[in-house]
Amino acid sequence: MFNVFVSRQLPGKGLDKLKSSCNVTVYPPDQNISKEELLTAVKDQDAIITMLSDPVDEDVIKAGNRLQVIANYAVGFNNIHVDAATSRGIKVVNTPDVLTNATADLAWALLMSTARRVVEGDHLTRTGQFKGWEPELLLGAEVYGKTLGIVGAGRIGQAVAKRAVGFGMPVLYHNRTRLPESIEKECSIRYVNLDTLLTNSDFVSLHCPLTPETKHLIGERELELMKPTAVLVNTARGPVVDERALVHALKNGVIYGAGLDVFENEPALHPGLSELPNVVLTPHIASAGMETRFRMVDMVVNDVLAVLESRRPQNLVNPEIYHKEEI
Ligand code: GLV
Ligand code: GLV
């Protein structure tokens, strides 16, 4: 029997599939595991299924004396020290693709609700302040025909861009590497540098992974480049935005508003952020569509079984591991 540790209770019954060949331990408290507990828990495990909030750093990886695979229940894997895993021959897998549409949908939900002040309107209505139709009640930013800027045009960025067709929006994108022309055509997107994107977009939506290069990609200078009427949407990772600079910009009318699903020091919010009327805040729920979260369980389970049964997993983050084995 293999030992598998799961750091959080997962939706549905997908984990049952592991139980015929593995001793499965699920971290019992319904809260995020600490690094100390993870250090102890990883010992003698053949596989661990981790959450994006778990710090799977070098210490944890070293403590995994039998570890063969780390399966992150997320597409983003900035919480894992992948190089440390690779150098120890440990496979890292994640859950791409299944959550692309759910995430793109939430990016649009934040874009629309920030632009059209849906949350302010909901609050006003449910607190009895709606006294009848008014010509100037909650005037907001219009979406149709405006320019959308996508930062990070991977699967999710492309899915967000495709949804812009119905809104008649020209779409600019910036990506570490320019996409093939066929994809640019398919998504009707135009490649520009980041400054051009920020200067010309009415809505800027972030879809890049968090890496040392993208930390604080959007800071004071970048916010200053944006239009005072522009909305920033972040469903990627909090630290891509300098949250202190963002709060300052939102307070001082440097930009119009922001729709945020992720935060720099999650779950903490930068002081002042939650008091601002021109932000819509959601608690990192972009992939939280019902079908998506069930399918993500199946994905991590299938890839854990693949590794334990010496098959190649579907969603390997560190494929270079195979070259290493061959050498
Ligand atoms: C969510 O943020 C994920 O990376 O899956
Ligand atoms: C994530 O899956 C992305 O590539 O955008």
Percentage of the chain exceeding pLDDT 70: 99
Separation between Cα atoms, residue 286 and residue 106, nearest integer Å: 5
Nearest CA to ligand 1 atom 1: 74
Residue 323 confidence class, pLDDT cut points 50, 70, 90: confident
Residue-range domain boundaries for the chain: 2-96+290-326, 100-281
Q: Could you tell me if the CB of 96 is within 6 A of ligand 2? A: yes
Q: Name the pLDDT band for 30 (thresholds 50, 70, 90).
A: confident
* Contact predicate 241/234, CB 8 Å: yes
Has residue 324 got a pLDDT over 80?
no
Q: What is the pLDDT of residue 183?
A: 97
Report the SS3 class of residue 232.
Answer: strand
Cβ–ligand 1 contact at 74 (below 6 Å): yes
Burial of 276 (0-12, 13-18, 19+ CB in 10 A): middle
Assigned CATH topology for domain 100-281: Rossmann fold (3.40.50)
Strands 231-234 and 189-191: unpaired
Whole-number mean pLDDT of the chain?
97
Average pLDDT over residues 252-274: 98
Give the CATH number of domain 2-96+290-326: 3.40.50.720
Atom of ligand 2 nearest to the CA of 207: 5
Global pTM reads: 0.95
Please tell me the distance from the alpha carbon of residue 148 to that of residue 187, in angstroms, as a whole number: 12
**Helices of type H across the chain:** 35-41, 58-63, 82-87, 100-115, 118-126, 155-163, 181-187, 194-200, 220-225, 243-251, 290-308, 320-326
The span from the CA of 324 to the CA of 322, in Å, is 5
Pocket test for ligand 2, best of 52, 73, 75 (most atoms within 8 A of CB): 75
Q: Is the minimum distance from the CB of 238 to ligand 2 under 6 angstroms?
A: no
Do the domains at 2-96+290-326 and 100-281 have one common CATH topology?
Answer: yes
* 192/290 Cα distance (integer angstroms): 36
| pLDDT tier for residue 325 given thresholds of 50, 70 and 90 | low
Pocket probe mutation, ligand 2, options 189, 207, 235, max atoms within 8 Å of Cβ? 207
**Which 3 state secondary structure label does DSSP give 197?**
helix
Least confident of 96-100, 177-181, 323-327: 323-327
